[in-house]
Structure formats: C-alpha cells, structure tokens
Amino acid sequence: METSDEIDQQRDLFALMGMTLIHIQFTESIINHTLLLVIQDGDSLDLEAWEKQIRFLDRKTLGHMINILKKRAGLHEGLEELLAAFLRDRNTLAHDLDRVDGYELHTKQGRAAMNAFLRELFDNATRLQKIFCDIGVSWQEQVGFVTPFDQDVRDFIGEDNLRISDLLFHEKEAQ
C-alpha cells in the first residue's frame, strides 16, 4: 500500500513530466521559427514562399527539423551532440519511459532516476532555447527588426550566452 507521501511524490513527478513536455514543445517551436525566419530555404521569402515554408515546416518532426538545419547550416560538433541528446530524450519522454535507466514509479530510487532524467532534459531544452533565441537576436540586429520584447529575450539568453550562436554555426559551403 502506497503512503500519502509516495502518492504526492508520484503526482509531483507527473507534474514535472507535463511541464517538461510543454518546455520541449516550446523549444521545438523556436527551432521551427528559426528555420522559417533566419536559416531559410533560399535567400528571401515572398508571401507565397513564406506560406509554403510554414506548411512544409509545420508537418516536420523534431528529427526532420534537425536534419533540415544540418542541411542549411554547418553546426559545431557540440551543438550536434546537444541536439541529438535532446531528440533522443524527447522521444524517450514522449514514447517510451521504460528507456529511462532505473525508472520505477513505485520506488524512491526509480522516481529519483526519472527526476534526474527530466531535469537534464529540461536543462538541455533551455540551453537550446537560449542558442536559438540568440540566433534570432543576431538576425534581428542584421535586418533592423526591433520588438518591445528584445531586452527580455536578451535577459533570458544571459550576457554570457549572447553571441554563442556565432561559435556554433557557420555557413555551409556551396555544393
């Protein structure tokens, strides 16, 4: 028989799962928008091309978006590793929790294993959000696009992470 404390811990774990999933979805949305606006297919988009890209990207899974990103831009090895871990762990959360080493809902150690997994996934999602937001900030500066939220985005990215995208991306050679 489970105690009230164990039930509360399970409930808290389920809440963390849901919060992490929403955080992941936000990260995926930022990557999608980066592919649409910043790391575009081609040099510029007219309205028709814009709408076509929206339809194209909206149907893509995270794995597809990462592959598109790799085709459009050269990625630093560390960023590729972070994206691969994020994709793997996102898919584990969404499709197969049994892949989490040690996870067992009914034991303290099993809940701790899932908690550690979720916190790492959440942290990786946050790192990716900051990287892709930095790409957006750099793009905005280049094209002269200003919003009332620019300083909030910079504060989220953090002074130490501003311009990190310059280190993680490079133009792909013409093929």
111-135 pLDDT, tens digit each: 999 999 999 999 999 999 999 999 9
pTM (2 d.p.): 0.89
User: In whole angstroms, what is the distance from residue 9 CA to residue 153 CA?
Assistant: 34
pLDDT of 2: 82
The model's pLDDT over 14-57, given as tens digits with 9 standing for 90+, comes to 999 999 999 999 999 999 999 998 888 877 778 888 898 899 99
Nearest to 85 by CA among 109, 121, 133: 121
For 165, the enclosing helix (H) or strand (E) is helix 165-168
Phi and psi based region of residue 75 (left: phi greater than 0; alpha: psi -120 to 50; beta: remaining):
beta
pLDDT of 129: 96
**Measured between alpha carbons, how far is residue 103 from residues 47, 78, 92, 134 in Å?**
48, 28, 12, 35
**Of the ranges 62-66, 139-143, 157-161, which is most confident?**
62-66
The model's pLDDT over 94-106, given as tens digits with 9 standing for 90+, comes to 999 999 999 999 9
**Tokens of residue 147, six digits:** 């919003």
Residue 80 has pLDDT above 90, yes or no: yes
130-144: b (≥16 Cβ within 10 Å) or e: bbbbbbbbbbbeeee
Q: Across the chain, where does the E strand assignment appear?
A: 73-75, 169-171
